[in-house]
Structure 1
Amino acid sequence: LARYALAMADENLGRVSKSTLSQQTLMELVIQSIEAKDKITSSENHAIDIGEWNGVTLNDDSEVSRINWFRYGLRGTLHLEWLPSSVENLWISNNNLTGSLDITSGDCLRDARVNSNELNGTIAFDSLPEGLEVFEGHNNAFTGRLNLSALPRHMVQLTLQINKFEGECDLTRLPQSLTVLNISYNKLCGEIDLRNLPHSLVNLAVHSNLFEGKTDFSHLPESLRFFDMSDTKLSGVIYMDASQRYSMQNLNGKSFYTAQCGVTIVERKKGNPSDV
C-alpha cells in the first residue's frame, strides 16, 4: 500500500494529500527507503500495525505522537515529508541516516532531534513548524545559508554546530524565547551584530567560523552565562566585573571563551562602557 501511494504521488507530482492517507500508510512511506526495517517493525516480510512498531508512541486518538529511534543503527533515508501531522516529538539522532530534511509539514512538531547523522542539503528555516521549540541538527552535513530571521517564535533551543553552513548570519531577529544557540564549526563569515540578542539567551556558541570585524559587546543580555567566540577573527572588548571575569570556578558566574581571536576581556572600572 505504501509503495502504491508513493507511486501515485510521484505520478501526480505530489498531488496526493497526506490527509487522505491513513497513519499506517504515512509511516510506511516514511521508512520505505530504510535498510533493515525490522529494527523498527520487527518484520521485513509483512505489515505490522504501527502501534506495535519499536519506538513509536500513539496518542489517545491512535495517532502517532512520538517517534524515538535514537541510536537504532538505521541506514538509508527517512521520507519525513510524509510524517503524520500528529507527531510532536521526533528523535532520530545517532544513526546513519542520509538525504535531505523536510519537516515543514509537521504541524504539531515541538521537539525535533536529528543530530549525529549524515543528513545533507539545505534547511527551510523560514518554514519550520510554528510550534517547534527544540531543533537539534548538529553533526550532519547540512549546507546553504543560515537564515535565522524567521524562526518559530517559541523556539528555545537550536543547535547547528558541525555542519557546512556558509555566508553571513543575522542574529538580530532571533526568537525572544531562545536560551541556547550553537552555530559553531561551520563556514559562516562576515560581521555579527550582538546588540539585539534575546534577553533569555543563556548559551551562545559562534566559535570556529570565519566571522570577522570589530564587534559591539556592550549589549550582551544579562542572562548570558556561556559565550564561546574563540577561533574567529572577531575583535573588540568585553567589560566584566572581576568576579565574572574569573568565573571559571564560579558555577553562578559567566564563562566566556576568546582563545585565538581578537576579543579582550577587561575588568570593568568606573568610566568603562556598560556591559554584562
Structure 2
Amino acid sequence: MKKTIFIISLLIFLSLPTPSLSLSLSLSKPCNKNDEKVLFQIKKSLGNPYHLASWQKTLDCCHWYCLKCNKTTGRVIELTIFSGNISGQIPHEVGNLPYLQTLLFRKLTNLTGQIPSTITKLHHLNTLILSWTNLSGPVPSFLSQLTNLEYLDLSFNNLTGSIPPELAKLPKLSELRLDRNKLTGVIPESFGTFRNLQSLHLLYNKLIGDVPRSLGYLNFSTIDLSRNQLTGDLSMFFGKNKTIEIAYYSRNMFQFSLSDLKFPASLRYLDLNHNKIYGSLPATLTVLSLENLNVSYNRLCGKIPRGGELQKFDNTAYFHNRCLCGSPLPACS
C-alpha cells in the first residue's frame, strides 16, 4: 500500500510543470501584431491555401505552421513554406517582416514569377532558400544588399541570364547554390573576391568561358561546376595546402595536364569525366582516402598507379581515355 501511494505521489509530482518550464512560458512574448498583420497579407496573396490553415486569429501566430518567433521579442524570425499545393508569386509583403532571419519557399512547383525586390528590406536575413519552384527571370543583383546573408540557394528553378558579379559583395556568404537553372554567360571574375565562400554549386546550367583563375585564391570545401560548357585549366583548385573535399567538374570542355597536380589530403570526391584532360594519373592520388573517382572520357595515358583506393573503383571510372592502362583496365603492353 505504501509503495502504491509513493508511485501515485511521484506521478502527480512529475505531471506538474517544472519551475524552469513555467518561467520559460511566462517569458515567451505573444506574436507581434504588426508581424501578424503582414502574415495575413501573405496568406491572402497566396490565395489562402490549405497549407496555411493554421494561420487563424484564434491561435497566436508564433504557434502557426511554417513559422518561428523569437521567444523574447515575439518577432517572426523564420518563414519556411515548403511542399504545399500553393500557386502564385512570392508575396512582396515578405519584405515587411523586418526581423526575419530565414526565408524559405521550397518544393512549390506552382510558385512562379520573379524574386521580389522587397526582400532587400530584410536586413537580418542570413538564409535565403528559393528552390524547386518555377521562379523565372534573372538572378537579381539586388541580392547583394543582403549583407548578412550566409546561405543562398536558388537551385532547381527557371532562372535565366548571367550571374550578377555583385553577389561577390556578400561578405558573410559561405554557400552559394545556383544549380539546375538556365543561366548563361561566364562565371564572374569578381567571385575570386568572396571572403568566406566555401561551397559553390553551378552545375546544370549553360555557362561558358574559362573558369576565373581568381577562384583559386579561395579555399573551397565543395565546388561543383558539372554539366556546363566551361573551358580552361582547373589546376588552381588543387595543391597540398587546399581544403577541398568534393570537386565535381564533369561534362565540360576543360583542357589541362593532370600529370603534375598535387592533391590535398582532404580530397574525397573527384569527378573529371567527359572533358579533354590529358597527361597521366599522378601517384599522389594513391595517398588519398577517395570515396569516389571518375576520370573517364578524357585523353589520359599511362599506367594507373597502384595503391591506395585506385584499384577499388571499377573500369568505368577510367575507361574511354586515349591510352590509360593497368588495373582495373587491361594491362599495359
TM range (shorter): 0.7 to 0.9
TM (norm. structure 1) is 0.76
Q: Deviations along 1:75-122, whole A, 9 cap, x unmatched?
A: 222214533121001122112221111322211101111111111111
Give the structure 2 partner of residue 89 of structure 1. Answer: 102
Instruction: Name the CA distance, whole Å, in 2 between partners of 1:93 and 1:143.
Output: 19
Distance change in 2, residues 1:116/1:216 (3 Å)? closer
Instruction: Name the CA distance, whole Å, in 1 between partners of 2:268 and 2:279.
Output: 12
Instruction: Name the CA distance, whole Å, in 2 between partners of 1:119 and 1:101.
Output: 7
Say whether 1:124 aligns with 2:140: yes
Residue 246 of structure 2: which of 219, 222, 226 is its match?
226
Residue 263 of structure 1: which of 277, 283, 291 is its match?
277
The answer to whether the 8 Å contact 1:115/1:138 transfers is: yes
| Offset of residue 29 of structure 1 | 3.2
Distance change in 2, residues 1:66/1:219 (3 Å)? closer
| Offset of residue 55 of structure 1 | 1.2
Instruction: Name the CA distance, whole Å, in 1 between partners of 2:65 and 2:55.
Output: 11
Say whether 1:115 aligns with 2:131: yes
1:101-180 equivalences under 5 Å are: 101-102=115-116, 103-128=119-144, 129-149=146-166, 150-171=168-189, 172-180=191-199
Q: Deviations along 1:148-200, whole A, 9 cap, x unmatched?
A: 45341110111111101111112543423111100111111112123433533
Instruction: Name the CA distance, whole Å, in 2 between partners of 1:80 and 1:264.
Output: 51
Higher helix share: 2
Consecutive unaligned residues of structure 2, counting only runs of 5 or more, are 1-32, 285-333
What RMSD over aligned residues (CA atoms) do the two structures have, in Å?
Answer: 2.9
TM (norm. structure 2) is 0.64
| Offset of residue 43 of structure 1 | 6.1
Give the structure 1 partner of residue 80 of structure 2. Answer: 68
Residue 40 of structure 1: which of 52, 55, 72 is its match?
52
**Higher relative contact order by CA 8 Å / sep ≥ 6: 1 or 2?**
1
**Identity between Structure 1 and Structure 2 (%):** 16
Aligned residues: 241
Consecutive unaligned residues of structure 1, counting only runs of 5 or more, are 1-20, 271-276
Give the structure 2 partner of residue 26 of structure 1. Answer: 38
Equivalent position SS for 1:262: coil
Give the structure 2 partner of residue 12 of structure 1. Answer: none
Instruction: Name the CA distance, whole Å, in 2 between partners of 1:56 and 1:165.
Output: 32
